[in-house]
C-alpha cells in the first residue's frame, strides 16, 4: 500500500539544473544564490493583456494519440489592478536580471505594444542607456486583423548588456542567403559552379554567393508562432517557439553557461538551453507550468523545487512475486475538467519511481506520455517490495508523491 506524502523537491541525477515553483516578487534563495553567475536572462512576463489564459492538454492514451480529448485548464492570469502594480512586477524582473547576470551577460525582455515603451525606459534606468543593444521586432502573421488601425503583428524583444564586456557572436546564427534576396542584381556562376548575384559600383564588382550565410538584423519575419498541430505545442497559452529562443540564446551563450528564465511558462527557454548544452534555472509561480516544463526537459540532471499537490488521490498498484512485476493500475482522483468516461489509468500523464529522504524524492525512473509515446508504460520488472516510492503527475498537472507503508 502507498500513502500520499508531501515532498518539496525532486532530484534527477546530479540535480544541477533548477526548475522552481516561485514568485519573482519573492525570490527564493535558490535563485538569489545565482547572483553574478548567469550569462543570459530571458524574461517573457505577462504583457498586461487583461486576459486569463487557459491551457489545453491531451488526456489519456486517446488524447495523446489523436489530440482529443484535451480538456482546458486555467493557465495564468494577466490581469493587473493598474499600470503601477504591473510596473512593480516588471521592475522586479529587470532588477533581478541585473543582479543575476555576470559581467559578460545579457538580458532579453520580451513584450508587445502594450508595455514595451515603459519597459525601454525602465531598462535604460537599470542597465544604463549604454547597456542598450537592440530592440528586436519579432513579426508574425497569426492572430486577427484590425479594421480601424494597422494590425498589430509583432512582439518587441529588448536586448541589454550587463557591461561593455558582454558576449555576442553573430556567426552562431547564420541564415541561408537564398537567391530571392538580391533585387536589381545580375546573376552569375563562377569557375567552381557557385551561383552568385553581382553588382558593380564605381567600377568595382561585388559578389554575393548563394551559399554564403547572411545574419539576422533586428526585424525577424522568418519565425512563425506555433501552429495548432505543431508537435512542439504543449497547450500552454503564449508558448514561444523553440527556434526563437535558440536564435536569442545562440549568439550570447556558450556550452556550460547558465541561462535563467523566471517566468518560464511551458519551459521553452529551458528546452532551448538544454539543446545548446547550457545549464539553466527556470521558475514560474504556477505549479502546472512546472509540470508542463518538466514534461519537455531531459531529466538527467535536474532539481524540481515545487511542493506536491494537497489534493488527495489513491494510487492503484499490483505486484506479482511470481512474474517479478510491479504494475501501476492508475490514480483515483477527480478534476472538473476530466472527461466523465475517464479511467484511473487515463488520469495519469507521468510517473516515477525512486526513494524519499526527508522531504526529497530521488528519482530512479521516469515514464511520461508524449505525442510520440502516447501509451504510458504501467508496469516494470522489479524485485518484490523494491518500489519504495512513486511520484505521479496527473492529466491536470498535479504532482503527488506516494510512500510504501505496508512493510
Ligand atoms: C508569457 S508566459 C511565459 C511563456 C513562456 N515563455 C513559454 O514559452 O511557455 C508568462 C508566465 O509568467 C508567469 N508569471 C506571472 N507572474 C509571475 C511572477 N510574479 N513570478 C513568476 N512567474 C510569473 C505565468 O504563470 C506565466 O506562465
Separation CA 62–CA 356 (nearest Å): 33
Q: What is the pTM of this model?
A: 0.95
58 pocket-lining for ligand 1 (C-beta < 6 Å)? no
Residue 182: the pLDDT is: 67
Residue 402: the pLDDT is: 98
44 C-alpha to center of ligand 1: Å? 7
For residue range 59-108, list pLDDT tens digits in order.
999 999 999 999 999 999 999 999 999 999 999 999 999 999 999 999 99
Nearest ligand 1 atom, CA 284:
22
Contact indicator for 40, 249 with CB cutoff of 8 Å:
yes
DSSP 8-state symbol, 26: G
Residue 181: the pLDDT is: 61
90 C-alpha to center of ligand 1: Å? 12
Separation CA 41–CA 186 (nearest Å): 44
Pairing of strands 360-368, 314-320: unpaired
For residue range 360-372, list pLDDT tens digits in order.
999 999 999 999 9
Separation CA 387–CA 380 (nearest Å): 10
Contact indicator for 349, 393 with CB cutoff of 8 Å:
yes
- Mean predicted confidence (pLDDT) in 171-198: 87
Contact indicator for 97, 107 with CB cutoff of 8 Å:
yes
284 pocket-lining for ligand 1 (C-beta < 6 Å)? yes
268 pocket-lining for ligand 1 (C-beta < 6 Å)? yes
- Mean predicted confidence (pLDDT) in 218-238: 94
Q: Where are the domains of the chain?
A: 23-174+217-284, 175-213, 314-404
Does position 126 have pLDDT exceeding 90, yes or no? Answer: yes
The three cell numbers locating residue 79: 490581469
Q: Does CATH place domain 23-174+217-284 in 3.30.365.10?
A: no
Beta bridge partners of residue 188, listed in sequence order: 196
93 pocket-lining for ligand 1 (C-beta < 6 Å)? no
At residue 406 the predicted structure's pLDDT band, cuts being 50, 70 and 90, is confident
% of residues, the chain, pLDDT over 90: 91
Pocket test for ligand 1, best of 45, 73, 281 (most atoms within 8 A of CB): 45
CA angle 269, 271, 277 (to 5 degrees): 100
- Please state whether 184 falls in left (phi above 0), alpha (psi between -120 and 50) or beta: left
Contact indicator for 264, 236 with CB cutoff of 8 Å:
no
26 C-alpha to center of ligand 1: Å? 14
Is the model more confident about 252 or about 228?
Answer: 252
Is the model more confident about 337 or about 319?
Answer: 337
Beta bridge partners of residue 139, listed in sequence order: 154
Contact indicator for 10, 353 with CB cutoff of 8 Å:
no
Separation CA 154–CA 286 (nearest Å): 26
261 C-alpha to center of ligand 1: Å? 9
The three cell numbers locating residue 289: 507550468
CA angle 94, 97, 98 (to 5 degrees): 90
- Mean predicted confidence (pLDDT) in 265-279: 98
Contact indicator for 134, 159 with CB cutoff of 8 Å:
yes
Amino acid at each position: 500500500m502507498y500513502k500520499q506524502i508531501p515532498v518539496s523537491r525532486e532530484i534527477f541525477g546530479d540535480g544541477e539544473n533548477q526548475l522552481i515553483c516561485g514568485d519573482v516578487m519573492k525570490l527564493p534563495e535558490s535563485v538569489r544564490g545565482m547572483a553574478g553567475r548567469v550569462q543570459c536572462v530571458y524574461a517573457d512576463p505577462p504583457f498586461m493583456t487583461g486576459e486569463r489564459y487557459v491551457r489545453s492538454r491531451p488526456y489519456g492514451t486517446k488524447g495523446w494519440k489523436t489530440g482529443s480529448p484535451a480538456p482546458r485548464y486555467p493557465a495564468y492570469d494577466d490581469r493587473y489592478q493598474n499600470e503601477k502594480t504591473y510596473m512593480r512586477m516588471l521592475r522586479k524582473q529587470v532588477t533581478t536580471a541585473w543582479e543575476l547576470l555576470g559581467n559578460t551577460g545579457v538580458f532579453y525582455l520580451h513584450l508587445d505594444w502594450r508595455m514595451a515603451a515603459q519597459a525601454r525606459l525602465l531598462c535604460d534606468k537599470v542597465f544604463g542607456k549604454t547597456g542598450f543593444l537592440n530592440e528586436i521586432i519579432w513579426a508574425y502573421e497569426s492572430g486577427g486583423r484590425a479594421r480601424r488601425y494597422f494590425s498589430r503583428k509583432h512582439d518587441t524583444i529588448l536586448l541589454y548588456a550587463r557591461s561593455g564586456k558582454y558576449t555576442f557572436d553573430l556567426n552562431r546564427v547564420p541564415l541561408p542567403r537564398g537567391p530571392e534576396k538580391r533585387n536589381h542584381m545580375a546573376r552569375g556562376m563562377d569557375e567552381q559552379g557557385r551561383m552568385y548575384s553581382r553588382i558593380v559600383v564605381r567600377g568595382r564588382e561585388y559578389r554575393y554567393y548563394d551559399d554564403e550565410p547572411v545574419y539576422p538584423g533586428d526585424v525577424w519575419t522568418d519565425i512563425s508562432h506555433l501552429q495548432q498541430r505543431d508537435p512542439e505545442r504543449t497547450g500552454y497559452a503564449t508558448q514561444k517557439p523553440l527556434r526563437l529562443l535558440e536564435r536569442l540564446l545562440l549568439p550570447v551563450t556558450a556550452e556550460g553557461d547558465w541561462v535563467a528564465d523566471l517566468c518560464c511558462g511551458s519551459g521553452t527557454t529551458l528546452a532551448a538551453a538544454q539543446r545548446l548544452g547550457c545549464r539553466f534555472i527556470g521558475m514560474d509561480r504556477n505549479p502546472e507550468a512546472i509540470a508542463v516544463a518538466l514534461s519537455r526537459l531531459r531529466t538527467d540532471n535536474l532539481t524540481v523545487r515545487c511542493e506536491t499537490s494537497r489534493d488527495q488521490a489513491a494510487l492503484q498498484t499490483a505486484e506479482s512475486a511470481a512474474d517479478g512485476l510491479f504494475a501501476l493500475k492508475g490514480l483515483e482522483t477527480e478534476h472538473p475538467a476530466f472527461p466523465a468516461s475517464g479511467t484511473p489509468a487515463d488520469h495519469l500523464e507521468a510517473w516515477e519511481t525512486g526513494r524519499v529522504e526527508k522531504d526529497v524524492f530521488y528519482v530512479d525512473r521516469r515514464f511520461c506520455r508524449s505525442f510520440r509515446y502516447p501509451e504510458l508504460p504501467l508496469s516494470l520488472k522489479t524485485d518484490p517490495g523494491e518500489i519504495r516510492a512513486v511520484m505521479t503527475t496527473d492529466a491536470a498537472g498535479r504532482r503527488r508523491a506516494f510512500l510504501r507503508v505496508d512493510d
